[in-house]
Amino acid sequence: MEHAHENTIAMKIDRSTLLIGSTYPLTLIRRKVSIAPQPIEALQEEIRSRPINSFWGHNNTLAAAEQLLGAGVKPNSERPAISLDADYYPCLDGECFRECWVMSPDYVQGFRPNIGEEVTTDKIIGWQILKITWE
């Protein structure tokens, strides 16, 4: 399989830093992964023991997520973008990862945000935690 993407510089795989975001672009999954729901406590435990690299994309949910996690997940830059290395692992800020944690809000029943709508925290009734692991 030809590796066609913009990032051809070899980057190190980081097994200690936790990669987290509010969503993960499925179009960037180009090798086998497993995705499993996790309890919030599992993510909280990981955050207590590892540094964080975040690509959080929704400022309106950031404060609520940080409060629940007990840690900051604000990205190092405005609207950071995940890239892929030559082996199709996700990379951010010069580090590549074999796992990613996604923390997405559950909204009140029947609510679906409009395209581009920033959702207020009063519409959030819970959180869905997913752990994506690349093989």
- Euclidean distance between CA atoms 102 and 129, whole angstroms: 6
Six-digit token string for 1: 């399989």
Residue 125's pLDDT is 92
Q: What residue ranges define each of the domains in the chain, with the CATH number in brackets?
A: 12-134 (3.40.50.11170)
- Euclidean distance between CA atoms 108 and 103, whole angstroms: 16
| Residues 71 and 134: beta-carbon distance below 8 Å | no
Amino acid at 85: D
The whole-model pTM stands at 0.84
In this predicted structure, the answer to whether residue 51 has a pLDDT above a threshold of 50 is yes
Residue 12's pLDDT is 62
